[in-house]
Amino acid sequence: MKELAITLMHLILKSLDISEEERSRVVSAGGASSALQLNSYPFCPDPNRAMGLAPHTDTSLLTILHQSTVNGLQIFKDGVGWVLVSPTNGSLVVNVGDLLHILSNSKFPNVLHRVVLMKENQQRLSLAYFYCLPSDFHLSPLALNSTQMPLYRSVSVRDYIGIKAKNLEKALSLIRF
């Protein structure tokens, strides 16, 4: 998972024209506080009255997710609403998290997602690998050219996590210029 996250991060940062030096600075710091999380959603007899996981964005650079065969993950698409991301055999889902949203000056936007419970009569499992930066890393939009304004002020990962703990999905707007 870590190797895959590193490869994806290099490709994403390269696509943003971020120099090799900056890319290496981010990627060599990345992974230091990464975590693997197993989520279990037991079968619910009345799924309309329960929620698997409330809408949120991940506080990571990237999250790599493996879903079991049971549906439930939805992402929010502007102008469309909640869209189901069905498990596909042999595939992983990659979610952009808040830290990459900030570093990319919102060119790679974080994805709002949730888990709903379905009438599938089965337990749902998922495995999420959160690829993160260490708490003392200073985040600010990278590699802006002379016509691009930074949308976010500089903040340490530690401070951002503190802001998010208190303000949840409003956190990004609180560090926006």
Ligand X SMILES: O=C(O)CCC(=O)C(=O)O
Catalytic residue among 25, 124, 158, 176: 124
Name which of 7 and 40 has its Cβ closer to ligand X: 40
Strands of the 53-56 sheet, one edge to the other: 53-56, 113-115, 73-77, 81-84
Distances (CA, A) of 143 to 21, 78, 129, 140, 147: 11, 27, 27, 10, 11
By the 10 Å C-beta count (0-12 exposed, 13-18 middle, 19+ buried), 159 is classed as: middle
Interhelix angle for 2-15 vs 20-29, to 10°? 150
By CB under 6 A, is residue 98 in contact with ligand X?
A: no
**In which residue are the tokens 């003392």 written?**
136
When binding is defined by CB under 6 A, the residue of 13, 27, 44, 65 that contacts ligand X is 65
Of residues 104, 100, 124, the one with CA closest to residue 114 = 124
Interactions with ligand X, residue window 20-39 (CB under 6 A): 37, 39
By a kind-dependent CB cut-off of 5 to 8 A, residue 125 interacts, out of ligand X, Fe ion, none, with none
Contact 12, 100 (CB under 8 A): yes
By a kind-dependent CB cut-off of 5 to 8 A, residue 73 interacts, out of ligand X, Fe ion, none, with ligand X
Q: How far is the CB of 85 from ligand X (least distance, A)?
A: 8
Write phi, then psi, for 55 (nearest 5 degrees): -55, 135
By CB under 6 A, is residue 67 in contact with ligand X?
A: yes
Q: How far is the CB of 77 from Fe ion (least distance, A)?
A: 16
124 is annotated as an active-site residue = yes
Name which of 101 and 113 has its Cβ closer to ligand X: 113
The interface mask with Fe ion, positions 36-65, x = CB under 5 A, is ----------------------x-------
By a kind-dependent CB cut-off of 5 to 8 A, residue 65 interacts, out of Fe ion, ligand X, none, with ligand X
Name which of 30 and 141 has its Cβ closer to ligand X: 30
Catalytic residues, by residue number, are 124
Residues at the site binding Fe ion, with contacts judged by CB under 5 A: 58
